[in-house]
Every structure is written in structure tokens, then in C-alpha cells.
Structure 1
């Protein structure tokens, strides 16, 4: 559940950033904007583990809920946001330090989640996705005595 897949949408590429992404500054950010029509947006997530579920808290304020898409396919959870007015609104600003533009995040579920009962809710700028644990594949830790 902790593995994050790289995005393969054509808008992001796995060679940029570290395991959980990096900061995009300076020449690279301007180069990426030229290549893709807009900058690469990396939204942060926290992953909480409870006794019976994993909970992804994705921080993305001021989104239009209708443009959020959460999908599971081939044991991968993908979160996508593509606003319709993204490209048109980008040219209205003389300075832009934040964006509510498109993004995509993908996470390998590794068979540890019951995909058919995943739930998602967007409120107060946080997308909260609850992933119930699969009891057959989530075996509790076992202490091993060292002799």
C-alpha cells in the first residue's frame, strides 16, 4: 500500500523528482510549462493507517468536486483532477504562485485493500479516501525473539 506508482498520463514523467516527487523550480519549471502547456502540479498526501483501513488525505484546496476522478484498475488507485477551464484561466494572471490546475497521483494497492468498498469524500480542501484493509493479506507484525 505504501508504494506510489509513477504517473504515465503524458503530463508527468517518472524521471522527475524522487520517490515521492521533488520541488520543481527555475529553468525546469519553465521548461515543463512549455512542454505541457502548464506546470507540473504535485499535490501532497498523508497516508494514515488504522487497524482496519488505510486513509489517504490529499491536500488540494479550492477544487471543483465534479472534476475529481478516483479510479482503481489493476490494483492501482489513481486520483486525477482536470478542470475544464484550466488552460483558459492560466493566461489571466500577471503573476501566479499557486495553481488549482490538473494533477494525477497513483498508488499501488499491492493486494492489501478491498477495492470494491473504497470510499472517497472531498471537504474543506482535503480529499479523504478510505481504503479498507484486506484481512487475508494484512498480516499483523510478529515479534521474533533474537537468541
Structure 2
């Protein structure tokens, strides 16, 4: 999973980071910067862990659901949004504090997820992606006695 803090410090900062690693944008970041310039935005994500799944909640209000794309390839989950030209609108704002422009987020799965059972739903400005845990690679934590 891409994590700005890790990029600066080199440290892992959460259980998600330890389980899923980091996927830096690399080629995409350079390509997207050329394609979208400063219009590419960062969309915040919360990651919830339950006994049988991980759930990613991306806060992305006012999007057209048909322009969202969620794919897995090479054990990486990629979420992107590219509005159609007519969706970009020609509105003239006197003040604009948010936009519904293009974005992409990538999350390394590291074999921890059953990719064929991933489900996604967009409602009320939140994209909710449910990632069922792979029972073979998600071993519960074990307390070890210190003597």
C-alpha cells in the first residue's frame, strides 16, 4: 500500500503496511502527471480489518459510478477514476475547495486476499471494497511467553 509517511521515514506504520506492503506509484505517477497535470488528486482511504476480510473505504464524493475502475493485476488492487470530458463540466466557480477529478490508488495485496471474491460498491460518496482474507496466508496473531 502506498503510504506517504513510509516514503519519508522508511518505517512501516500499521498492521496493514506489514501485511500488504507498499506499492509506490512509480511509472503511473509519472504517466499520470503528464496526462492529468495537477488535476490528479489524492483520495483518502480508511482500511478496516474484520475476522474474515479487509474493507477499504475510499472517500470520493460526487463521482459518476460508471467512471470508477477497480482491477487486480499481479497481486495489486488498483482503484482509479477518470471523468469523461463532458463530466468535467464548464461550470465557473467563484470558489472551489474540492473537485471530482481523476485519481488512482494502488494497494499491494501480498497474497493476503482471495482476489476472485473481491466486491466493490459505491454509495453516498464512499467506495467500499471488500477483500476476503485468504485463510492460508492470514494466520492469527499468537502470544509468545517471555521467560
TM-score band, normalised by shorter chain:
0.7 to 0.9
1:65-104 matched pairs, under 5 angstroms:
65-85=65-85, 89=89, 92-104=92-104
**Cα RMSD for the two superposed structures:** 2.2
Gaps of 5+ in 2: 1-18
Mapped partners of 2:22, 2:64: distance in 1 = 25
Moved beyond 4 Å, runs of 4+: none
TM-score, length basis structure 1: 0.77
Name whichever structure is richer in helix by fraction: 2
Query: By how many angstroms is 1:66 displaced?
Result: 0.2
Q: Does structure 2 retain, via aligned residues, the 8 Å contact 1:86–1:102? A: no
Task: Give the number of equivalent residue pairs.
Answer: 126
Mapped partners of 1:90, 1:135: distance in 2 = 49
Mapped partners of 1:86, 1:140: distance in 2 = 49
Gaps of 5+ in 1: 13-31
Query: By how many angstroms is 1:91 displaced?
Result: 7.2
TM-score, length basis structure 2: 0.77
Q: 1:88 to 1:62 in 2, by over 3 A?
A: closer
1:11 aligns with 2:32: yes
Q: 1:38 to 1:86 in 2, by over 3 A?
A: farther
